[in-house]
A and B are shown apart, each in its own frame.
Chain A
């Protein structure tokens, strides 16, 4: 499990971005994060795992570990990869419930919403939706399992 709650990580990100003076610097940071994001399994680079944005492709997979969710993702756009890195930082290791309920206010607060999210181009909102869908699926599986367990008892 991730030791920090979602909103704490969000606040850290907001803090980090507050040091940047202009958008060039913010993008430079995102590019840096994007370049560091590696290790997407090649065999998962399939159409099934693709989140479609208009101008960039994102591949996303998730798995469960001790009740928390982990994500791996990649994109042909380095800036989008930087965004993914931020999302993974917030979401990975969290419980399905926390992911589903996360409001992700940092996107608005660091100005990304205004700059990027309103365009279909980067597929940011599609990506968030897909990450939450995975969490929701795990959550539903848990609930079904728990109901089944209860009825057995």
Chain B
């Protein structure tokens, strides 16, 4: 497929042609999909990659000596290599395919956590984390009688670095924070966060679920120890995600799940485990997902992540300017450095009502707590309306959104 990229600007109309779903109508109106932080739509090349796999070379991998199994094998390995390049990891053996970012974090909590965290130890997360980066640590801490410490954020929704520094102590065994907040859109200064932790020899996990589709991530340059993300939030299929970890950690960590593929030899007297990454990929992996994810990476690379980020920033600024002028609107998440997420509440109105009414006009936004209940408590609000943008969204869609939002507010007031 030819490159959509032309220098710095994105030809949105051309991009939109790859997303057939954007042609459909919802409740009699053209679909305006503004829930991209929950999941993005999939370009045709991703869908086609899945179909082609099943139509032409579906076979189980790592076992067959026959041609189509070898083809599937190669496609899976190529996908790993694509992911490696995508985040500039040193070695593709450090790429572990999981069900998603959630499973990736659970894997680290289970394997690294149970091996390295003991009574009275501490794990640091921030106040803006998604439940997926809270609950696995809570469970671990409960089990180990360890402590989960929360890095506070300011009213703009930014991590307070001075407070973070104070929390880094001799008992801290891991820092786990998001690269980008799913609710606020805040881009956290993860490089600085990692550097400060490393000064005290504390490893850092970065939850990149919301970052990889907007930011060119280089795990090597960040010097992260673990980095996690999901395919479906970056134009790829659901059901697959990535845990990248430094080989020095992964090699020492015990398996997370056991079964086929992750073993080296099984005797009734005992089992020896395979090397990484196989050690962490028990059972038949999600081959179609890997192939789809590779196609999504191609889509991102050929469109240009920097260009996508600029386009989304433009939409964000455009929408923010207009939404600020609507009476009663309060923005939640006003960090200096943020991506295409706009979260807000309207005084006296329920986010749910706004979401329901916008849907009658074909506009899909997310309402509620966005799996960040503690963050809602931090802002003392029950929930927000969240519009989140992707490469295929347009200023015209923002205009319609703003117009319908104003109507909705008038209707409810």
Contact = CB atoms under 8 A, between A and B. Distances in A.
A24 interface: yes
A121 interface: yes
Interface string A69-86: 000000111111000000
A54 B355 CA distance: 14
B379 to A, nearest CB: 16
Contacts of A31: 353, 411-412
Nearest to A122: B352
Given A28-B411, A121-B352, A55 B367 contact: yes
B352 A22 contact: no
B314 to A, nearest CB: 30
Contacts of B28: 22
B383 interface: yes
A27 interface: yes
B353 A22 contact: no
Contact of B356 (A27, A54, A76): A27
B357 interface: yes
B286 interface: no
A55 B411 contact: no
B360 A55 contact: no
Nearest to A53: B352
B368 interface: yes
A101 B16 CA distance: 51
Contacts of A121: 352, 367-368
Contact of A80 (B352, B361, B368): B352
Interface in A53-74: 54-57
Contacts of B356: 27, 79, 116
Give the size range of B's interface with the partner.
10 to 19
B360 A23 contact: yes
Contacts of A77: 350, 352-353
B90 interface: no
Contacts of A56: 350, 352
Given A76-B382, A79-B352, A24 B360 contact: yes
A22 B360 contact: yes
Contacts of B351: 55
B307 to A, nearest CB: 35
Given A55-B383, A78-B412, A27 B352 contact: no
A78 B27 contact: no
Contact of A27 (B349, B360, B382, B383): B360
Interface string B145-183: 000000000000000000000000000000000000000
A28 B353 CA distance: 11
Interface of B: 27-28, 349-353, 356-357, 360-361, 367-369, 382-383, 411-412
6 shortest interchain CB distances as A-B pairs: A77-B350, A55-B368, A55-B352, A23-B360, A24-B360, A77-B352
Given A55-B351, A55-B367, A79-B350, 20 more contacts: A22-B28, A22-B360, A27-B360, A31-B353, A31-B411, A31-B412, A57-B382, A75-B350, A76-B382, A77-B352, A78-B349, A78-B353, A78-B412, A79-B352, A79-B353, A79-B357, A80-B350, A80-B352, A121-B352, A121-B368
